[in-house]
Amino acid sequence: MSTFWNKYRYLFFRRTTQIGLLFFYFAANAWGWTIIMGNLSSSVVFETIPLSDPYAALQMLAAGAVIATDVIIGALIITIFYMVVGGRAFCSWVCPVNLITDAAALLRRKIGVDNFAKRQPATRNMRYWVLGLSLLISFMMGITAFEFISPISILHRGIIFGIGFGWAAMLVIFLFDLLVLKNGWCGHICPLGGFYSLTGKFSLVRVHHKQENCTECMKCKVVCPEQQVLYMIGKESIPVLSAECTNCARCIEVCDDDALGFSIRKLVENKKKGE
Amino acid sequence: MKSVTERDRRKFILGMARGAGITALGGFIWSAYVDEVTASPLVLRPPGAIKEKDFLRTCIKCGLCVEACPYDTLLLAKPGDNKPLGTPYFIPRDIPCYMCPDIPCVPVCPTGALDESSVTTNGKLDINIAEMGLAVINKESCIAFWGIQCDACYRACPILGQAISIEYKKNDRTGKHAYLTPIVHADACTGCGLCEKACVTEKAAIFVLPREVSMGKAGDYYIKGWDKGDEKRLENAAEIKTKTEISKDKAVDSLNSGEDLY
């Protein structure tokens, strides 16, 4: 039992955060709870603290909108928070699309799609192109370009306010990740993930690899949605410094040899200096 | 060694070119889609909404106004609604705006897409100056214009007597009855849609359209000469120089030229 818990503890916490947040957002609209109101684009906590999606604010800026103080404060709070805990913690701990793409990745592993589709025909840098493109379209057309197509918003709004035909978009993403491209949406295309990869560059919470414990079983690389960040497995005892790591902690859980764990970045660097 | 670096460089250039190519293709589809969905002008926004063009770039689609609405009037556009995705709107025939005096939907807006100052007079919230839309009447389907007595819209109007008034006219067909027909006044109508909701006809004969759609504009060349205030508009009037074949000469010259004018 305790091994089972060890294997899934972070997954449990992640799903609790994701679904818990969704529930509180839902309750705000359905029963008027005031814990957290709005949605992931912009929310209010306890009717006082504003939170805003910094990427949405950036698009508004590019589109030439006048940005209200609440949005600036809210976007700053979110940006600073993710600068500390690792930008893409949003992706694996909050974003509801993660539930869909994780399910697709799980099914993909179970039915063994990767056994015959080894080659990944797309670059993970695509998200930065999409990010740039979204700002360009926002600027040229005077609208928040990604916010009008974002599957994240479609799903999150859908759960809170009613999804309409949005389920079709979710099905497309599921099938795309399952059959076309492994970790296709979250790991290749999503510009919000790209945005947090950039802002979380210097974040403090990092996964750390202990090479001396590693048996090179590569279980971590199999579950990792961004396996390029784990290039050091079995080679070097260093933290995962790429901000494309979503801090989902699946690698820590699947590791049988205690070769991976969370650490704070600064401490790691200090320790190195001390040696 | 040299061949390896050259291959790397070629690979890099090819990679960048592929990225640019996919980006261009994606950007084309993306911008075409966004252009289409935002082109729909027939959307009624919550009170205090700024001009549609600014609204589309300012609204962050958080739904706080929707949550604040006590009558569930406001909806967030979802896929399939054929409205700009995620933006708030309402359909008066289903649920109109009941014009709450404290306007709960407006102050919660974090972005200013719903502008509190546009629904404030003398420092107090005033829903009566909201401009969500303008009711228009299709008199062919309005039974009051047939001569049947109906004042449902007039009675439903929250600014009774000002936004909709009833005009009396003799019914020549019978010779002894009157037409009691509704007239909408744009300066008072907020576009709340209570009239549209109340309308008794199968499909509402009075309905709310966005002001941009339902209102005309006289321009600066037609001035009420008897109205001092209206004459002021002349100060902003732009001059137009026509450059047709005829306008090259003075009017008198063209009369004297002896040639055919057309």
Q: Do A187 and A243 belong to one domain?
A: no
Q: Do A55 and A184 belong to one domain?
A: yes
**Domain carrying residue A268:** 204-274
Q: Do A179 and A212 belong to one domain?
A: no
pLDDT of residue B246 exceeding 90: no
> Within an 8 Å CB–CB cutoff, is residue B85 touching chain A?
yes
Q: Flag if A133 and B67 touch (Cβ within 8 Å).
A: no
Q: Do A241 and A165 belong to one domain?
A: no
> Within an 8 Å CB–CB cutoff, is residue A157 touching chain B?
yes
Residue A274's pLDDT is 43
Given A179, A198, A217, the domain boundary residue is A198
Closest chain B residue to the Cα of A135, Cα to Cα: B27
Q: Flag if A160 and B15 touch (Cβ within 8 Å).
A: no
pLDDT of residue A214 exceeding 90: no
- The per-residue pLDDT for range B175-220, each reduced to its tens digit, is 889 999 999 999 999 999 999 999 999 999 999 999 988 998 888 7
> Within an 8 Å CB–CB cutoff, is residue A56 touching chain B?
yes
Quote the percentage of chain A above a pLDDT of 70: 94
Q: Do A143 and A63 belong to one domain?
A: yes
Given A131, A163, A198, the domain boundary residue is A198
Of the candidates A44, A65, A157, the beta carbon closest to that of B64 is on A44
Residue B138's pLDDT is 94
Interval A142-171 mean pLDDT: 86
- The per-residue pLDDT for range A107-116, each reduced to its tens digit, is 988 888 777 7
Residue A266's pLDDT is 64
pLDDT of residue B64 exceeding 70: yes
Given A167, A198, A229, the domain boundary residue is A198
pLDDT of residue B33 exceeding 80: yes
Q: Do A53 and A120 belong to one domain?
A: yes
> Within an 8 Å CB–CB cutoff, is residue A211 touching chain B?
no
Long-range contacts formed by B212-219: CB under 8 A, 24+ apart: B212/B41, B212/B52, B213/B41, B213/B42, B214/B133, B214/B134, B214/B136, B215/B134, B215/B186
Residue A275's pLDDT is 39
pLDDT of residue A269 exceeding 60: no
Residue B44's pLDDT is 93
Residue A273's pLDDT is 47
- The per-residue pLDDT for range A72-123, each reduced to its tens digit, is 998 999 988 888 887 788 899 989 999 999 999 889 888 887 777 666 667 7
Beta bridge partners of B250: none
Give the minimum alpha-carbon distance from B189 to chain A in angstroms, rounded to a whole number: 28
pLDDT of residue B45 exceeding 90: yes
- The per-residue pLDDT for range B119-165, each reduced to its tens digit, is 888 888 889 999 999 999 999 999 999 999 999 999 999 998 899 99
pLDDT of residue A251 exceeding 60: yes
Q: Do A34 and A112 belong to one domain?
A: yes
Q: Do A117 and A166 belong to one domain?
A: yes
Residue B244's pLDDT is 74
If you write DSSP's letter for every residue of chain A in order, what string do you get?
-HHHHHHHHHHHHHHHHHHHHHHHHHHHHHH---SEEEETTEEEETTTEEEE-HHHHHHHHHHTPPPPHHHHHHHHHHHHHHHHH-TTHHHHHT-THHHHHHHHHHHHHHTTHHHH-----S-TTHHHHHHHHHHHHHHHHTS-TGGGT-HHHHHHHHHHH--TTHHHHHHHHHHIIIII-TTHIIIII-HHHHHHHHHTTT-SEEEEE-GGG-----HHHHH-TTGGGGTTTTT---B---TT-----HHHHH-SSS-EEEEEHHHHHHHHHH-
Q: How many domains does chain A have?
A: 2
Q: Do A252 and A159 belong to one domain?
A: no
Report all structural domains of chain B as residue ranges with CATH numbers, in order of start.
42-130 (3.30.70), 133-216 (3.30.70.20)
Q: Do A83 and A149 belong to one domain?
A: yes
> Within an 8 Å CB–CB cutoff, is residue A170 touching chain B?
no
Q: Do A227 and A150 belong to one domain?
A: no
Q: What is the CATH classification number for the domain harbouring A256?
A: 3.30.70
